[in-house]
Structure formats: C-alpha cells, structure tokens
C-alpha cells in the first residue's frame, strides 16, 4: 500500500495505490468513494476491498475527491464537476502506476453515480463499471441523506436539554458535512446508472438492483449494509466477506 | 499545496503498519510543541465531519506542526501481528519518530472522545507530552450533578421519559467500541484520574477541557470538572459548550472549536 498525492497544485488529491500481489493481472481497479457519513462509515471497508483486490492480482487505486477526506481543498468549494475531473485524473494515475490500460471502476453508493456520470469522459474509458449498492438516482440519495440527517438531529434534540437544543443547520451542510448549494444541485440532478451490458451490480442483502438489469449482471452479497437505517449511520461498514466475493468473481471474469 | 502549510505522509512502526499525515507550516518554530490528533471513535484520521483536517490545517497556518494519525486497527493502520492493539504503544512510537525529526519541543494532544482518552493515557505514560486539549473526555458525576439532574427531572417529568427513551436510541454512544480490529476502551475511575491530574499539574502540563451538550448523562454544569477535580482550578481551562454536539455536526461549532484550540495553543506555547 503506497500513499500518494496526484493532480494539480491547485487541487492535489490524496489516495492509495495497492500494488498487485504476485503476478499482476491485465486489468487494474479504480475505487470511487461515496460521500459524507457514508464515506466515513465505509473508509475501512474500502481499504479492505482494495486489499482483497490486490491480493487477487489487481493493481488498485482508491482516493478522496477534492475537498473531501485527506485531499486538498475546502469542503465548501467541493463541486461535482471537480469530482468528475478527479475521477479521470485518478484513472490516469492508476494507468501510469500500474502500466495497465484496462481498468474497471467500482463505485460505492454515490460513487457509482459519479462514476457513471464520468463514463463517457475522455480518459476514463473503463471496460466495466461496478455499482455497489447504487442509489436509483441522485435525488433519492440526497433525500435519504436529508432524512437521516433530520432523524439524527431529532434524536439528539430529544435527549438534549431544552435550553441546549442544536441550532438549525446553516443550509450549506448535510449530516455535518459541507454541502454547498452548487454541489447539492448537481448531485440531486445525477441520473441513476442505466442497465447496460458493461456494468455489474453488487447488491447487499438489504438492497436491490433495478428490475431492468439482467440477472447475470447482478452479484448478490450475503451481508446487509444498512445504508438506509439511522441506527447504523455511526457503525463502521467493513464487508470483508463481500469484498472477498467480489475479488474472486473479478479474478474469474477478468484477465 | 494550499498556502501556509504542506502535508506529507508518515508511515511508522514495524513494516510501516501505522499511518498518519504530518501538516507542516511554511516556517517551523522548533521551540513550539508538535500537536498530535489521534482518532475519534472508529473514524479515520480525517475526524468527524473533517474536523481533524480543518484543525490541522488551521494550526499549521498558525505555525504548528500537526500529526493526525490512525491507531492500530483504524483507518489505514494495521494491528500488530499476533499482539493486542495498543493506541498507547502506537502513540509512543510516533513520538520516537517525531523526536528524530526534531520538529518541535514536546508534544500536545488534542483529543475528542476516545481521542481524549488516548491523549490522557499518553500524557500519563510519557513526559514528553506537555499539553492536553480534551473534548468530551472523562467526566464524573458529583453531588451537584445529581441535585441538578433530579431537580430537572422532577420539575419536567416528560423529559424524564424522553431521557429514558433517549438512552435506547443508538445515535450516540460515548467511548463506544471502536472497530473490529481496534482495542476496547476502559474508562478509569475518578480516583485514578485525580491522581493523574495531580501529576500533570506538578509536571506543568497545559490542559484545557471542553464538554458539549451531548454528554449530559455525565456532565451538567459549567464548573463540574473543577468541582470533581479541584486541582485543575487555576491549572486548566474549562468550557461547557452546551449548544455544541459531540461530533460537532454544525460548521459554526467546528469553527468555534478550532478557534478556541488555536487561541489556547497560542496562549500556552512560545
């Protein structure tokens, strides 16, 4: 595992390259994070996924979008357009690091929608997009985040003293994460991934793929992810068995 | 890189199994302590709502070297093979690494929740630590707490029911188990903590304590920590920020906290 920074001086991105163990396969894997509390919740799980993929022979890169995580940039300056550019930059970085031109993109939750939005961008050109528990579209995802955020505030205020109720959010944040209006508008407008051939849908046991997706394009995971449950928003998501299952599947179907 | 600081990776421990980010100001003042920010709960070094990133960058812009790091089993740090995870051992290893770099004089720890526990334990074990900034760390009820608690409950019986309901809502568990691979936290007794504070005062450790409105199960009034630990009066700053929640979900709360940390550090350091 090698930490790295890449991109421009104005927008330096932070990521990790997980070198393939043993003989490297011809395909490299780029992992696209989800956002906000889901990003925090899934951080260790994404690392485990990268380790499993590397152990199966895939050069793998994971990274933080600009204005999030360890990457540079103020959270209030985060924009979807920047994230789409970040994704293409990350793909280029992965190709340079690995020497592999074939790449597969794994998008977790919102990351699946972001990767899908970048699918046609010059420089990405992934042979396969893998959508892990992809929301049906940006609007439904943001609606869920708002619902969980409101629920969390209500639960906290329920327990807090009358004179120490939480002040209202300033409108530029969601679940404690900066959520500037341009980012909110762009994410809300994101379409869901279309059911097409060059996609694989990973679904946790409490999630489902759109009905139009062919059964052979769905990989069912045995574990529940609890993305929609308030009780779970502060619980780490580390799907080690599911990550192993995906790595084994990819090892069978990719060079 | 943004103006005022640079960031670099720190990998340390056996086979580089531990991970942190060093944020360095444009000009390093070796007379100043290096600031450490360990994990909060299970969250990786970024901190809740990116608090640790914003804090590190703000403090670096003010001239401090800052390390935010993952202890064993969290974020990008691995547990030691064949051994139990120990955040204390991890932190002491980090001090050894930073000593060799000669980035400053002494160390100060900023910790929220489990991070406060880590800071306290490090300070207890290692005299290289010269300062502690604790947010929602150890807190103990006293007679006045119970008096206020019951007065409030008896005058507002509905709230008593709400409080019982609140206890079963899982949004918020202080010092909860951190992660599958990380160590479990054991909260020391008030007597043990008092003995530690006595030693910290004798060592002239700079201390500041903040309690938020989410810890009302153990903390209810501004001077409670002073009343439970009288040796801290005159030796430590104390603030009860009842309008702020434990994970600082409001941007204004994070900005207020970072401003306070920065002002405190500038006051107690060269």
pLDDT at B163 (0 to 100): 60
Which pLDDT value is given to residue A155?
Answer: 84
User: In terms of CA atoms, which chain B residue is nearest residue A168?
Assistant: B250
Residue B154 in tokens: 């008896």
**Which domains are delineated in chain B?**
5-268 (3.40.50.1820)
What pLDDT, on a 0 to 100 scale, did the predictor assign at position A255? Answer: 85
Q: Report which of residues B132 and A205 the model is more confident about.
A: B132
Lowest mean pLDDT among A100-104, B161-165, B211-215: B161-165
- CB-facing half-sphere around the CA of A85: CA atoms within 13 A: 14
- Report the complex ipTM: 0.93
Lowest mean pLDDT among A24-28, A103-107, A130-134, B174-178: B174-178
Residue B170's pLDDT is what? Answer: 41
Report pLDDT for B183: 59
For residue A235, name the pLDDT band (cuts at 50, 70, 90). confident
Q: What is the pLDDT of residue A10?
A: 81
Interchain contact B13–A (C-beta under 8 A): no
Reading the block at residue A66, the tokens are 């600009």
How many helices, marked H, and strands, marked E, lie in chain A? 6, 10
pLDDT at B123 over 70: yes
Cβ under 8 Å to A: B residues 21-50? 21, 41-46, 48-50
Q: What is the pLDDT of residue B155?
A: 77
Residue B35, both tokens: 């600031």
> Which band of pLDDT confidence, cut at 50, 70 and 90, is reported for residue B174?
very low
Q: What is the pLDDT of residue B169?
A: 44
Mutate to test the interface with A, among B5, B49, B219 (most CBs of A within 10 A): B49
Tell me the DSSP string of A194-254. P--TTEEEEE-TT----TTS-GGGEEE-SS---TT-GGGTTS----HHHHHHHHHHHHHH-
Q: Is residue A51's pLDDT more than 90?
A: yes
What average pLDDT does chain B have? 89
A68 close contact with B: CB closer than 8 A: yes
| Facing B9 at nearest CB: one of A3, A40, A238 | A3
Least confident of A153-162, B10-19, B259-268: A153-162
* A77 touching chain B per CB within 8 A: no
Which range (A81-85, A150-154, A180-184, B151-155) has the least confidence?
A: B151-155
Smallest Cβ–Cβ distance between B250 and the set A47, A159, A167 belongs to: A167
Work out the pLDDT band at A102, boundaries 50, 70, 90.
very high
Q: In which band, very low, low, confident or very high, does the pLDDT at B85 lie, cut at 50, 70 and 90?
A: confident
Mean pLDDT of A165-178: 87
Helix or strand (DSSP H, E) at A32: strand A27-32
Q: What is the mean pLDDT of residues B61-85?
A: 93
Q: Which residues sit opposite B23 in a β-bridge?
A: B7, B66
Nearest to A226 by CA among A211, A236, A218: A236
Distance between CA A211 and CA A141 in Å, rounded?
18
- Measure CB to CB from residue A236 to each of B179, B248, B251 and give the nearest one: B179
Which chain B residues have a beta carbon less than 8 Å from that of A68?
Answer: 50
- Round to whole Å and give the CA distance between B130 and B200: 9
Spell out the alpha helix ranges (H) of chain B.
Answer: 51-61, 87-101, 114-125, 143-155, 157-168, 190-202, 224-228, 251-268
pLDDT digits (tens, 9 = 90+) for A107-141: 999 999 999 999 999 999 999 999 999 999 999 99
**pLDDT grade for B127, boundaries at 50, 70 and 90:** very high
What is the phi/psi pair of residue B153, to 5°?
A: -65, -40
CB B138 within 8 A of CB B119: no
Hey, is the C-beta of B218 within 8 angstroms of any chain A C-beta? no
pLDDT of residue A214: 85
Closest CB to B46: pick one of A69, A173, A175: A69
Tokens of A29: 């894997």
Q: Which residues of A190-201 are buried (b: 16+ CB within 10 A; e: fewer)?
A: bebbeeeeebbb
Alpha-carbon distance A65 to nearest alpha carbon in chain B (angstroms): 13
pLDDT at A196 over 90: no
What is the spatial distance between Cα A87 and Cα B128, in angstroms, rounded to a whole number?
43
**Contact A241/B at CB under 8 A:** no
Residue B166: predicted pLDDT: 53
Partner-chain contact A156 B171, CB within 8 Å: yes
Q: Which residues of B touch A3 (CB under 8 A)?
A: 9, 11, 19, 76
**DSSP state for residue B40 in the 8-state scheme:** B
**If pLDDT is split at 50, 70 and 90, which confidence band does B108 have?**
very high
């Amino acid at each position: 595992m090698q930490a790295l920074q890449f991109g421009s001086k104005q927008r330096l991105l932070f990521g990790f390259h997980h070198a393939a163990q043993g003989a490297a396969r011809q395909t490299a894997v780029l992992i696209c994070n989800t956002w906000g509390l889901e990003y925090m919740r899934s951080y260790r799980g994404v690392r485990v996924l990268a380790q499993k993929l590397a152990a199966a022979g895939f050069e793998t890169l994971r990274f933080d979008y600009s204005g999030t995580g360890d990457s540079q940039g103020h959270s209030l300056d985060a924009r979807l357009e920047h994230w789409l550019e970040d994704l293409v930059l990350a793909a280029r970085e992965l190709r340079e690091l690995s020497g592999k031109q074939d790449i597969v993109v794994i998008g977790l939750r919102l990351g699946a929608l972001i990767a899908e939005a970048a699918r046609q961008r010059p420089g990405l050109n992934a042979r396969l997009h893998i959508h892990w528990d992809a929301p049906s579209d940006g609007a439904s995802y943001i609606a869920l985040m708002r619902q969980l955020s409101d629920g969390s505030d209500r639960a906290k205020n329920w327990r807090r003293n009358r004179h120490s109720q939480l002040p209202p959010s300033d409108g530029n944040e969601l679940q404690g994460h900066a959520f500037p209006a341009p980012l909110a508008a762009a994410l809300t407008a994101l379409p869901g991934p279309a059911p097409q051939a060059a996609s694989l849908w990973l679904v946790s046991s409490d999630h489902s793929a759109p009905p139009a997706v062919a059964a052979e394009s769905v990989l069912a995971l045995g574990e529940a992810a609890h993305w929609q449950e308030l009780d779970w928003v502060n619980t780490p998501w580390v799907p080690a068995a599911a990550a192993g299952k995906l790595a084994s599947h990819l090892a069978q179907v990719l060079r | 890189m943004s103006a005022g600081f640079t960031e670099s990776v720190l990998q340390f421990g056996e086979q580089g199994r531990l991970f942190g980010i060093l944020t360095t100001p444009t000009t390093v003042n070796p007379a100043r302590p290096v600031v450490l920010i360990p994990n909060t709960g299970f969250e990786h070094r970024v901190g809740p709502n990116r608090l640790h990133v914003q804090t590190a960058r703000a403090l670096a812009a003010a001239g401090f070297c800052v390390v935010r790091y993952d202890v064993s089993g969290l974020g990008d740090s691995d547990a030691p093979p064949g051994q139990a995870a120990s955040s204390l051992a991890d932190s002491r290893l980090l001090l050894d690494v930073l000593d060799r770099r000669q980035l400053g004089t002494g160390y100060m720890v900023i910790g929220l929740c489990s991070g406060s526990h880590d800071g306290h334990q490090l300070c207890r074990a290692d005299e290289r630590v010269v300062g502690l900034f604790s947010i929602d760390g150890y807190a103990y009820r006293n007679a006045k707490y119970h008096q206020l608690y019951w007065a409030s409950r008896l005058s507002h019986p509905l709230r008593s029911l709400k409080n019982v309901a609140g206890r079963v809502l899982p949004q918020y568990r202080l010092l909860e188990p951190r992660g599958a691979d990380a160590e479990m936290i054991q909260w020391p007794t008030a007597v043990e903590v008092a003995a530690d504070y006595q030693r910290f005062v004798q060592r002239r450790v700079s201390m500041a304590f903040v309690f938020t409105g989410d810890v009302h199960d153990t903390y209810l009034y501004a001077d409670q920590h002073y009343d439970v630990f009288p040796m801290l009066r005159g030796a430590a700053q104390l603030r009860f920020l009842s309008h702020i929640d434990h994970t600082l979900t409001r941007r204004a709360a994070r900005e207020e906290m970072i401003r306070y940390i920065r002002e405190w550090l500038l006051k107690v350091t060269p």
